[in-house]
A = this chain, B = another copy of it.
Amino acid sequence: MKKIIIASTSTVHGSDYLSYILPTLATFFKEVSTILFIPYARPSGISYDDYTIKAKKAFEKINIKVKGIHEYNNPKDAVLKAEAIFTGGGNTFELVNQLYKQDIINSLQEAVNGGTPYLGTSAGSNICGVTMMNTNDMPIVYPPSFTTLGFIPFNINAHYLDPNPDSTHMGETRETRIKEYHVFNTTPVLGLREGSWLEVINKDIVLRGDYTARLFKANESPREIPSNSKVIV
């Protein structure tokens, strides 16, 4: 049975790392004593050790230990034997690059589809989709593929931002970018606003948090999914 939390962001403005979602995680991980942390996305380029310390500090508040995947000799084994897995945010291109380089795509699919609880935030959530093609990140490395873990039958746009009507900047809005994506692709995309997350229990995908989420499908007008309702694409 699949058990996954897919969060738009690790941190909401003005609060500590993971603190907005910690009560949810305490319940979600209540049978877990140690989480395997995947720090490959390296936000701001920080080291795997430093990033793992950050995750440790958050999870010790709910009495869960954290161990970084880089502390193991065999990352595949670490994934397959993990009690639970957390992939943190950062740069999605580098994260996906390392998933391929360390050859753990299949192991992650085997573990999580087999019931190992998984938490993703931001880049760690993008990889739960079919591809990473709706990331907002800069392509600072060239991964061998954009195909990701496919835990859900659509893609995630994390940190979804509504158009700002006052902006004078000519860069494309998020909605324009996702519509461009649908000129070339058919996989639906869910824009998850900061503070929202998906709770996946087997085939049921439910939106949680205070906000609606915006669902984009090829050749259809986008629509808002209410909080606490199922996401059906």
A residues neighboring B (CB under 8 Å): 9, 11-14, 42-45, 90-91, 93-94, 132-142, 145-146, 159, 161, 168-172, 176-185, 194
* Residue from the list B45, B132, B136, B184 in contact with A171, Cβ < 8 A: B136
- CA of A11 to CA of B45, assembled, Å: 33
Contact present for B133 and A136 (CB under 8 Å): no
- CA of A139 to CA of B97, assembled, Å: 14
- CA of A134 to CA of B141, assembled, Å: 10
- CA of A150 to CA of B178, assembled, Å: 29
Q: Which residues of B contact A136 (CB under 8 A)?
A: 138, 171
Minimum CB–CB distance for A41 against chain B, Å? 10
**Interface SS of A by simple majority:** loop
Q: Which residues of B contact A146 (CB under 8 A)?
A: 139, 142
Q: Which residue in chain B gives the minimum CB-CB distance to A144?
A: B142
Contact present for B179 and A44 (CB under 8 Å): yes
Q: Which residue in chain B gives the minimum CB-CB distance to A93?
A: B139
Contact present for B183 and A45 (CB under 8 Å): yes
Contact present for A185 and B140 (CB under 8 Å): yes
Q: Which residues of B contact A170 (CB under 8 A)?
A: 9, 11-13, 159, 194
Q: Which residues of B contact A168 (CB under 8 A)?
A: 13-14
22 contacts between A and B (CB under 8 A): A11-B170, A13-B170, A14-B168, A42-B183, A43-B180, A45-B183, A45-B184, A91-B180, A93-B139, A94-B184, A133-B138, A133-B141, A135-B139, A136-B171, A137-B172, A137-B177, A139-B139, A140-B180, A140-B181, A141-B184, A142-B145, A161-B169
Minimum CB–CB distance for A156 against chain B, Å? 13
Known: A43-B172, A44-B176, A140-B184; 17 extra A-B contacts, CB below 8 A, are A12-B170, A13-B170, A43-B180, A45-B180, A45-B182, A94-B184, A133-B138, A133-B140, A135-B138, A136-B138, A136-B171, A137-B172, A138-B178, A139-B139, A142-B145, A142-B146, A170-B194
